[in-house]
Chain A
C-alpha cells in the first residue's frame, strides 16, 4: 500500500506583523492601529521567542516562522506529502477586550488568510476566526465567511469568558452546524480567567501543560450543558491539547454521569459514547507513553479508531525531523488518522478533494 498523503488538521500560519492586516481593516481600525500604536497581538500562549512556539529549524532569519505560504509549503506540506492542511491562525484577536475591535480584527484575519494563503496554495484550507468577545458578532462573521467553502471549521480558543457549554455560545454552535462546519477548540486562552482551577501559575511550562486539563473541563461543560444533544450534527475538534488523557477522563465523566445524571437529564446517552461519536482530537502534541509498545494499548483504551486526526502543529515544536506520527501506531490506524478520519470530520474537505491537484479557488466545486 502506498503511503497515504496526510491531511494536516492543525497548522499555524503566522501574521508576520500587525501591518500585514492593515489592508484588511477599514479606515477606523487602520487609523486606530496607527494612532494608538497598537502592539502585536501575540498572546502569552505562544510567546514569540519561546522554544515551543516555533521549531528552531523552521525559523527564518528574523526568528519568525510560518509567515509566508511558501515557507509553510516547503516546511510543513512537501516534506510530509500533505495533500490538504487546515490553517488555524493564532493571533490573539479573541483576547482584545473591545468587542468591536475583536470583530474588526477577526474579519481582517479571515480576509487576509483567504487572499494571501488560500489563494496562493490550493492545498490550504482555513478555520474561521471569530470574535469570541460576543457570540452575536461571531455568528455574523461565520455567516459572512462560510460561503467561501475553503473555510472548513470555526475556531475557538479553549479559554474564554464563559464555559463553552453555556447557552451564551449556542447561537455560534447553531451557525456552525447550519453551515456544516465543525467547531475546533484550540489550546490557548483569552486569559479572562486563570488556566488552572487553583489560580495563575508561575511558569510558561505550567500554562502549556495545563492546556490539557483545562480543555477537559470545557469538554465536561459541552457534554453537561447538552450542546451535543441540542446540536445533533455538530462535531467538536479538540486541538493541540493531547489525546491520552481521554480514557481516564471518560471513565470518570461517565461514572459521575451514572451517579448524577438526574442533574442533567437531557444527556440521555453515556458521555463516553457521546464523546466518541461527536468529538475528535488532533494528534500533536502526542502525549503517549515512552514505550512504543504501549501506544496501541492506549489507543484501545480510547476505544475508537475514528477520533484522532493527523496534525503537525507546525510551526510549534512538537517533534523533530519528520516524526509527526508517533512510533508504535498500528499501520491501519495510522492510515485512518492521516486521511480517512479528517475527511469524515470535515465535510467540506470532501467537496474540494476531487479537484486536487489543482490551482486557484475551489469554492465553485462545492
Chain B
C-alpha cells in the first residue's frame, strides 16, 4: 500500500564497532517484491508451473490486500530511508548491505530472515514452492557469497508434511542456521499440528526462529482487528507471549528437551513478568497439564532466547538491565533488524550498565552458542 516517492541516494556509514557482533535479525529481500508478489529473482528456482501460477494468480494471504501488508507501514517497505541501494530496493543487494551495515558494524555472524517468502500463503503448494525457492536463493545470492551470513530455512509451516520434507532436504547443510516461523500462525505454535516440524528441526540440530508478523488470519486483539499499524507493532509482543505460553503448556519442551526457540523482534523485557505469571497460575492448575515436569519458567530459561531489537527504552535505562537480570543474560541475542525503519544501532541500542562478560554474551557469545557457530 505504500508508494515510493522519496529520492534516495548515498550511504550513511554507521559508527565503526571495534568488537565483532552477531546480528540475529537481518532481512534480505528479493528485489522489487511486495507481499503478494513474487520477485523474478526467485524464478531461477521455480518451476515453469509456479512461475506461470504467480504471473496469473499472485500469492494470496489471509489478509485483504493483493499487495502490501495488512496495515500500511510507517515508511515505504518499512525500511530506513537510507537503505535503498542505487536503483534497487532495501535488502536486495549484498554489496550495499556489506558496505552500509555488515562491515562498519563488524558483524561476524548475521542471521538472514527473509519475510516475503511464501510462509503462510493460502495455497499450500505455492507456499512450498516459494519457500523452497527462497532457500535456494539465500544460498546462491547470500551465504555462498559472504561466509558471515547464515540463512533461515523457510518452510510452508501450515502444511507440516511439506515443511518436514524441506527441512530433511537441508539437514546438515551449514548454510542454514535455523528453521524460521512467522509468529502469527494459524494455530497457536505449541499445537500438535506443528510438532512434526519441531521434531525434524531438533533432529537436524536446528533452532526454531520465530519472527514477528504472519498471516494466520487471527486479529492481534482478543476482540477483533485494531485500526493501526502501531497496534500491530506493539502487539507483536503479545502475540509472541501467546505463542510462548502455547509452546510451554502444550508440552513441546517436555517432548523435545533440546529444542531451541529464538523469539525475534518482539521484545525482551516482558519475559520475566510472563514467567512469574505462568509459574503462579500453573501451581494452582497443574492437574490440567500433568505432562509438564518443570515449572513453566524453567522451560523458558532452558529452551527460549529473545532478540533485542526493537529494544525497550525505559527511563531510566537502568531498568532494562534489571529486566534482563530477571530474565537471564544468557537468553538475550543482539539484533539490528537491518534494513527496517526501527533498526537498532549496535553502538547505541543498549545504553545500560553491563559487565564485559554480559556485553560479550549479548553481542556475540549467546548467538554463537544457540546457532552452534564456532
Contact = CB atoms under 8 A, between A and B. Distances in A.
A79 B303 CA distance: 43
Interface string A239-255: 00010110111011111
Given A200-B188, A220-B226, A253-B234, A205 B341 contact: no
A248 B274 CA distance: 11
B322 interface: yes
Contacts of B220: 197, 217
Given A204-B285, A221-B221, A198 B226 contact: no
A198 B185 contact: yes
Given A214-B222, A301-B314, A198 B234 contact: no
Contacts of B222: 158-159, 189, 193-196, 210, 214, 217-218
Interface string B82-124: 0000000000000000000000000000000000000000000
B372 interface: no
Contacts of B59: none
A357 interface: no
B187 interface: yes
Contacts of A234: none
A214 B241 CA distance: 10
Contact of B323 (A162, A163, A217, A248): A248
Interface string B210-230: 000000101111111111111
B288 A204 contact: yes
A226 to B, nearest CB: 10
A292 interface: no
Interface stretch (B12-20, B244-252, B362-370): B244-252
Interface centre among A205, A287, A289 (most CB of B within 10 A): A205
B270 A198 contact: no
Q: How large is the interface on B (under 10, 10 to 19, 20 to 34, 35 or more residues)?
A: 35 or more
Contacts of B41: none
A263 B270 contact: no
A42 B30 CA distance: 52
A139 interface: no
B9 interface: no
A285 B218 CA distance: 27
A144 interface: no
Contacts of B280: 285, 287
Contacts of B81: none
B273 interface: yes
Given A201-B245, A224-B230, A249-B237, A208 B285 contact: yes
Contacts of B237: 213, 216, 248-249, 252
B238 interface: yes
B301 interface: no
A262 interface: yes
Q: How large is the interface on A (under 10, 10 to 19, 20 to 34, 35 or more residues)?
A: 35 or more
B239 interface: yes
Contacts of B320: 251
Contact of B74 (A251, A252, A262): A262
A205 B288 contact: yes
B224 A163 contact: yes
A153 to B, nearest CB: 20
B298 interface: no
Contacts of B288: 203-205
Contact of A255 (B226, B270, B312): B312
B268 to A, nearest CB: 8
B74 A263 contact: yes
Interface string B328-356: 00000000000001100000000000000
B177 interface: no
Nearest to A160: B223
A346 interface: no
Contact of A210 (B226, B234, B242, B276): B242
Contacts of B162: none
A248 B268 CA distance: 8
Interface in B270-327: 270, 272-274, 276-282, 284-289, 310, 312-314, 319-320, 322-323, 326
Given A189-B222, A256-B233, A259-B342, A202 B250 contact: yes
A196 B223 CA distance: 10
Interface string A273-288: 0000000000001011
Given A247-B269, A247-B314, A285-B280, A203 B223 contact: no
B189 interface: yes
A256 B234 contact: yes
A297 interface: yes
A260 B227 CA distance: 13
Contact of B216 (A198, A254, A256): A198
Contacts of A61: none
A249 B239 CA distance: 13
B326 A294 contact: yes
B345 to A, nearest CB: 14
A201 B246 contact: yes
A199 interface: yes
Contacts of A287: 273, 276-277, 280
B231 interface: yes
Contact of B223 (A159, A202, A206, A210): A159
A264 interface: yes
Given A52-B284, A220-B234, A224-B231, A198 B326 contact: no
Contact of B221 (A193, A202, A244, A300): A193
B224 A251 contact: no
A197 B310 contact: no
B39 interface: no
Given A217-B238, A260-B74, A210 B322 contact: no
Interface centre among A213, A214, A287 (most CB of B within 10 A): A213
24 contacts: A52-B285, A189-B222, A193-B224, A196-B243, A197-B216, A198-B183, A198-B242, A199-B188, A199-B191, A202-B190, A203-B289, A206-B250, A210-B245, A213-B238, A213-B241, A216-B237, A216-B238, A224-B226, A224-B228, A244-B276, A252-B267, A256-B342, A259-B341, A289-B276
Interface of A: 50-52, 158-166, 189, 192-206, 208-210, 212-214, 216-218, 220-221, 224-225, 242, 244-245, 247-249, 251-257, 259-260, 262-264, 285, 287-290, 294, 297, 300-301, 317
Given A195-B242, A201-B188, A203-B250, 12 more contacts: A158-B223, A164-B223, A192-B224, A197-B242, A199-B185, A203-B289, A210-B241, A224-B226, A245-B273, A251-B319, A264-B228, A288-B276
What are the 8 A-B residue pairs with the smallest beta carbon separation, nearest first? A248-B269, A196-B242, A251-B312, A213-B238, A217-B221, A287-B277, A214-B222, A197-B239
